[in-house]
Amino acid sequence: MMPRNEPLARDDGRPLARGGAARERRFYRAYGLTIASEVLLPELEPTAPAPADVVIAVGTIDLPRPSPEAATDFRFEPDRQYLAWDAVGAFLITDGRRIDVEPAPGVDDALIAFPLLGPVLALLLHRRGLLVLHASAIAVAGKSAIFMGDKGAGKSTTASAMIRAGHDLLTDDVVALDLTNPNQPMIVPGFPQIKLAADAAAAISFRDAEVRPRAHPEIDKMQHRLNGAFSGERVPAGRIYMLERGEKADITPLPGIAALPAIIKFSYVTRFGRAALPDDFAATHLRQCSGIANHVGVSRLEVPTGLERIDEAVALIERDLATDV
């Protein structure tokens, strides 16, 4: 296998092949973008055909695929990024405007959508100048709460409990922040779907939600497509909570010196390592994270262990947001 820092271009300079049978192109709306996709994405909101901000095309990507032993292969250049999973497929992002997809043999669109709407789309949004957090976000009466934390901390579960309490989803898993006005960072709404583990889904039910079939037996979370309870409007970033498990619901603001490392840790691009931040992207990313840390800050949110007590955290979050005048 070629080393990860090997250039993405072919040795002879020829363009990538675009093989494969013709597919229908469908139009969707997410993160403020019109997306023209040859991958079926029922998770997204359909829209009328229009000039596309992002094109998703299915075909052959003329780059080596990872071996089953390696499982993954990630390569980064300023204008192109290559992400490949042996069991799912390969994705090539170009100029923050195009995603080429080569599915692994026998893989359908439902499984392709998992990385496509997660790390692949997150990296594309980052390349378009947004700060992207691995988090969930909820709109609360014109304000917002962002939930970030380690795997199993309960980001989606807490967001789901907020939805059950009458608030609206902004985005799950991929939170995109527009810092065009550094004094008022805005959360860009994603799409009306939230993923929940089986125990959380059993404890937190949604009205008018469609539970989609599991795309693969090893995927432990169920996708809930919301019909309603979704905010399609940008909302100012109000509160950022770093979730931890605790004995009781509690909120503690982090000092500024701790807020910046927390935001860097849970920014989506950092999961790919330093190679994903070439040239001036690293300086821009640090400046964005610092701006959010200084303007919004981060609070530690302790969520009681046990789903039967999740509403204690919801009530505390609502009171905390009510103090933001």
Q: What is the pLDDT of residues 248-276, one digit of tens each?
A: 999 999 998 999 999 999 999 999 988 99
Is there a single domain that holds both residue 170 and residue 30?
A: no
Q: Is the pLDDT of residue 13 over 60?
A: no
Task: Reduce the secondary structure of the chain to three states and give it as a string.
Answer: CCCCCCCCCCCCCCCCCCCCCCCCCEEEEECCEEEEECCCCCCCEECCCCCCCEEEEECCCCCCCCCCCCCEEEEECCCEEEEEECCCEEEEEECCCEEEEEECCCCCHHHHHHHHHHHHHHHHHHHCCCEEEEEEEEEECCEEEEEECCCCCCHHHHHHHHHHCCCEEEECCEEEEECCCCCCCEEECCCCEEEEEHHHHHHCCCCCEEECCCCCCCCCEEEEEECCCECCCCEECCEEEEEEEECCCEEEECCHHHHHHHHHHHEHHHHHCHHHCCCCHHHHHHHHHHHHHHHCCCEEEEEECCHHHHHHHHHHHHHHHHCCC
Of residues 291 and 11, more confidence is placed in 291
Nearest one of 151, 183, 163, 178 to 266, comparing CA atoms? 151
Asked if residue 215 and residue 76 are part of one domain, the reply reads: no
Same domain, 146 and 278: yes
Q: Are residues 31 and 146 in the same domain?
A: no
Average pLDDT of the chain?
88
What is the pLDDT at residue 325?
A: 54
Instruction: Please check the confidence at residue 203 and state whether its pLDDT lies above 80.
Output: no
Query: Residue 1 falls within a domain, yes or no?
Result: no
- Where among 87, 107, 127 does a domain terminate? 127
pLDDT of residue 103: 96
58 and 93 housed in the same domain: yes
5: in domain: no
Query: Residue 201's pLDDT is what?
Result: 73
- For the chain, the domain total comes to 2
Per-residue pLDDT of 112-140, as tens digits, reads: 999 999 999 999 999 999 999 999 999 99
Please enumerate in sequence order all residues whose Cβ is within 8 A of that of 200, keeping only pairs 6 or more positions apart, or say none: 156, 157, 160, 307
Considering the domain architecture, whether residues 162 and 234 belong to the same structural domain is answered as: yes
Two tokens at 114?
């998992």
Domain-located, residue 100: yes
**What tens digit of pLDDT does each residue of 158-170 get?**
999 999 999 999 9
Tell whether 218 and 317 lie within a shared domain: yes
Q: Which domain holds residue 119?
A: 26-127
The answer to whether residues 101 and 165 belong to one domain is no
pLDDT, mean of residues 269-298: 91
Of 127, 154, 179, which marks where a domain is finished?
127
Query: Of 15, 263, 272, 222, nearest to 133 (Cα)?
Result: 263
Position 21 scores a pLDDT of 60
Dist CA 203 CA 321 (whole Å): 25
Percent of the chain with pLDDT over 90: 67
C-alpha distances in Å from residue 106, one per residue of 87, 103, 177, 245: 10, 8, 36, 40
Tell me: do 102 and 202 sit in the same domain.
no
> Residue 63 pLDDT more than 80?
yes
pLDDT tier at 145, thresholds 50, 70, 90: very high
**What is the pLDDT confidence band of residue 305, given thresholds at 50, 70 and 90?**
confident
The confidence score (pLDDT) of residue 144 equals: 95
78, 143: one domain:
no
Residue 272 located in a structural domain: yes
Q: Which residue has 């919801």 as its token pair?
A: 314
Question: pLDDT digit string (tens) for 207-233?
Answer: 777 877 777 767 777 888 888 889 999
Looking at residue 182, what is its pLDDT? 86
More confident residue, 68 or 53: 53
pLDDT at 47: 97
Say whether pLDDT at 19 is over 50: no
Asked if residue 13 belongs to a domain, the reply is no
In the predicted structure, residue 148 carries a pLDDT above the cut 90:
yes
16 in any annotated domain: no
Q: What is the CATH classification number for the domain harbouring 244?
A: 3.40.50
C-alpha to C-alpha distance for 146 and 137, rounded to whole angstroms: 4
> What is the C-alpha separation between 37 and 50, in angstroms, rounded?
12
12 is a domain residue: no
pLDDT interval class at 307 (50, 70, 90):
confident
Q: Is residue 172 domain-shared with residue 75, that is, in the same domain?
A: no
Domain boundary among 95, 127, 159: 127
The lowest-confidence range among 29-43, 84-98, 124-138, 225-239 is: 225-239
Residues 151 and 84 in one domain: no
The pLDDT score that the predictor gives to residue 279 is 76
- In the prediction, which pLDDT does 231 show? 93
Q: Assess if residue 7 is contained within a domain.
A: no
Please say if the pLDDT value at position 297 is more than 70: yes
pLDDT of the residue at 11: 37
**Cα separation, 276 vs 260, whole angstroms:** 19
- Which of 147-151, 167-171, 196-200, 201-205 is the least confident region? 201-205
